[in-house]
Chain A
Amino acid sequence: MKKKYFLNAHIIDPKNSIDELGGLIINENGKIEAVGKKVNKNNIPSREKFIDLSGKHIFPGLVDMRVFVGEPGLEYKENFRTLSNAALSGGVTSAITMPNTQPVIDNVSIVDFLKRRGRDKAKINIYPTATLTKNLEGKNMTEFGLLQGKGIVGFTDGVKTIQNSRLMSRIMRSAYDLGSLIIQHAEDYHLAENGTVNDGIIATKLGLQGITDLAEKVIIERDLSLLEEFNCRYHIAQISSFKSVEVIKYKKNDVDFSTGVSINNLSLNENDIGDFRTFLKLSPPLRTEEDRLSLIEAINKNLIDVIVSDHKPEDEESKRLTFTQAATGASGIETLLPLSLELFHNGSVKLYRIIELLTNNPAKILKINKGNLSIGNDADFCIVDVNKPWIVKKEKMISKSKNTCIENKKLQGKVLCTYINGNELFNLK
């Protein structure tokens, strides 16, 4: 591999507190050799060709902490190859995959298979999670220690929640002993039973069963109370409401934990569901505008640490049903960054903060050395024109499943190139 020189870009790398005009040099091994304002035309060899990125940004490759992939068992929704292409087009270079596959990721032998498949078929870095409980049943915990040994970065039941408080306390104790990361999808099943949308005027008007924001709140309250006692690495997968933000604010000083939010909950509200648009059937549900604004405020007040795509590919057939019957979730890994940039363009969140929540913060929580431009590290990064306007079109989506919840949305900001290990794996052209 030849050395590569990128100059005159606006570089943001929160891990190294870089937010400046400068350059990036990739060495022959695909590692970062130099980065920042020191890298300019005057201190690179004159014979070398360089790429002029005036007006463009360089960000570390995004780390998406909540990605559903169809391998194994649901390849018709998404496989590692299609996921990689979609991710790369959105600047995502590392994906944390959820264990809700068929079969589920709950034992050592399936992890071996997964790692092999990921290595052979995926172009991006795949970091698999395993389930908290065997077969997602919420009864017996999985072998955190052995699974970690095989490369599992965290444990979660994905779309499911541990309901049993005693089991949850035992999971936390084991996780403490073994240093494991627990990721909880916060939803009380009884409070959320049969619910499909936020409980409120929209649910009443559409005649749909609502999911109260209390369903999220009580699980977070319970878990944080347990956490005070059994202090393990704990991450709330996604929050969606003002009430949850209040609990987090209150508990933040007493216990260590981290919190994620889906870009969908940051960008849309329950009114967007309109006339039963099943592509906006999400979990947690889209809530009120006040809830959405409280989540943005929470980002700015350091109460939320991570933005995820909650990429959940579903085939057309499982969405072309009545709202009650339709599958939950939206495909979104390729629009994660452009949609996040909307928060920058409309003045809600600073660009540096957005990139922090998409790169270094998730990497730090997961304890993986990704999402940064540190010297000597793999050159995983993306080049972005943050002002380029475009319109989301279902038929132009790269993911195998086209269930975007922002069809026809006008966005500003597009990834031009994505590099992994110094190799250009995506170019918008």
Chain B
Amino acid sequence: MATSKKAIKISQKHLLGIQDLSINDINVILKESKTFITLNKSKNKKIDILRGKTQINLFFEPSTRTQSSFELAGKRLGADVMSMNITNSAIKKGETLIDTAMTLNAMHPDIIVIRHQDSGACNLLSQKVNCAVLNAGDGRREHPTQALLDALTIIDRKKKIQGLRIAICGDILHSRVARSNIYLLNMLGAEVNIVAPSNLMPKDIDKLGVNKFTDMKKGVKDCDIVMMLRLQNERMTSSFLSSNREYYEYYGLTPDKLSFAKEDALIMHPGPMNRGIEIDTKLADDINKSVIKEQVELGVAVRMACLKLFCE
């Protein structure tokens, strides 16, 4: 028993949110991720540490990068990966999340990756299944692997997070990426600025230990990182903003606004981007400033690390 206990490196059974992780957990995940960066660049990208393990991807919301990233990560580690297509499943016939969970649980998976439109859906699932549950985004609550890959990207470029000033800008209200990043970057010692119009600012967000700004130029001033978020129009049930063009004028990342940040500031975006709404299209593609493609690349490594660590 003593040996098996030693193998457990993570304090949690599931990855539901950054909130639940210890600083040690985060360091273990980031360290493990680095080993996979090299593997992902080599000719033979496949290893077999998860051979015989079953990974089910349960995506209730459309996703391109997260779903393919998790799928690829599982396959590169040798797991049997099944992605459930919700449009064809029993959910459409009225099955509840718990019943779906029980059905999948009966197939003895080792890991379930879930994305759901409702906050807390992964928590509910984790109470009902025996295997590990990885949250790939729940409502507006958390998206832990995105925050981890963002941290990895920052460390890769800036060699540290401690002491950096980081602005997270845009639709904070609807953003799980923002919440996970706030927790993670705070834990790793960054100073976090939140920039959003009041209508897209969550109530009492400053109680999470961030600085609030409604003026973007003030918010990005002297920042090392400017992280832009997608305007989530699909979650806006009523009028939050007057128009996209006014939003771009005040909150879109343009060279002018970026000039308030540090000269070597990096631009990040979790994607998918609304070019010309939250970010100037040339800036998004500027290889000297934008690390958006790198984020996607490192995303696979982070998910490989999470799959490995939470499968153990």
Contact = CB atoms under 8 A, between A and B. Distances in A.
Interface of A: 190, 193-194, 199-201, 203-208, 210, 212, 275-276, 317, 320-325
Contacts of A275: 120, 123
Given A207-B179, A325-B118, A193 B207 contact: no
Interface in B110-146: 116, 118-121, 123-124, 138-142
A324 B207 contact: no
Interface string B143-185: 0000000000000000000000000000000001001000000
B123 A207 contact: no
B21 to A, nearest CB: 15
B243 interface: no
B204 A322 contact: no
B203 A208 contact: no
Given A193-B238, A322-B97, A207 B204 contact: no
24 contacts: A193-B237, A193-B238, A194-B237, A199-B203, A200-B204, A203-B202, A203-B203, A204-B202, A204-B203, A204-B207, A204-B208, A207-B119, A207-B141, A207-B176, A208-B119, A208-B141, A275-B123, A317-B96, A320-B96, A320-B98, A321-B97, A321-B98, A322-B119, A324-B139
B119 A323 contact: yes
Nearest to B127: A275
The interface centre, meaning the residue of B97, B118, B141 with most chain A CB atoms within 10 A of its CB, is: B118
Interface residues of B, number: 26
Nearest to B201: A204
A324 B118 CA distance: 6
A190 B116 CA distance: 25
B174 to A, nearest CB: 9
A310 to B, nearest CB: 23
Given A199-B203, A200-B204, A207 B140 contact: yes
Contacts of B26: none
A189 to B, nearest CB: 11
A320 B95 CA distance: 12
A2 to B, nearest CB: 54
Contacts of A322: 97, 116, 118-121, 124
B119 A201 contact: no
A321 B94 CA distance: 12
B272 to A, nearest CB: 20
A193 B238 CA distance: 9
A228 B207 CA distance: 40
Given A200-B203, A201-B207, A322-B118, A207 B237 contact: no
Contacts of A204: 179, 202-205, 207-208
Contacts of B119: 206-208, 276, 322-324
Interface of B: 19, 96-98, 116, 118-121, 123-124, 138-142, 176, 179, 202-205, 207-208, 237-238
B98 A206 contact: no
The interface centre, meaning the residue of A190, A194, A205, A317 with most chain B CB atoms within 10 A of its CB, is: A205
Nearest to B238: A193
A193 B119 CA distance: 16
Contacts of A317: 96
A205 B118 CA distance: 13
Nearest to A209: B140
Given A201-B204, A204-B204, A324-B120, 17 more contacts: A200-B204, A204-B202, A204-B203, A204-B207, A204-B208, A206-B120, A206-B141, A207-B119, A207-B176, A208-B140, A210-B203, A276-B119, A317-B96, A321-B124, A322-B118, A323-B120, A324-B118
Given A200-B204, A322-B116, A323-B118, A276 B237 contact: no
B203 A276 contact: no
A208 B179 CA distance: 12
Nearest to A203: B203
A324 B105 CA distance: 23
A204 B210 CA distance: 13
B105 to A, nearest CB: 15
Nearest to A276: B120
A215 to B, nearest CB: 13
Contacts of B207: 201, 204
B287 to A, nearest CB: 34
A200 B203 CA distance: 5
A317 B94 CA distance: 13
Nearest to B174: A207
A199 B118 CA distance: 17
A214 to B, nearest CB: 11
B54 to A, nearest CB: 25
B193 to A, nearest CB: 17
Contacts of A193: 237-238
Nearest to A321: B96
A102 B158 CA distance: 63
B124 A276 contact: yes
Contacts of B203: 199-201, 203-204, 210, 212
Contacts of A203: 202-203
B167 to A, nearest CB: 19
B142 to A, nearest CB: 7
A322 B61 CA distance: 15
Contacts of B124: 276, 321-322
A199 B204 CA distance: 9
Nearest to B206: A201
B162 to A, nearest CB: 24
A206 B142 CA distance: 9
The interface centre, meaning the residue of B19, B98, B124 with most chain A CB atoms within 10 A of its CB, is: B124
A212 B203 CA distance: 10
Nearest to A204: B202
Contacts of B139: 207-208, 324
Nearest to B138: A207
Contacts of B176: 207
The interface centre, meaning the residue of B19, B120, B123 with most chain A CB atoms within 10 A of its CB, is: B120
A210 B202 CA distance: 9
A275 B208 CA distance: 18
Closest 5 CB pairs of A and B: A207-B141, A207-B119, A322-B118, A276-B120, A207-B140
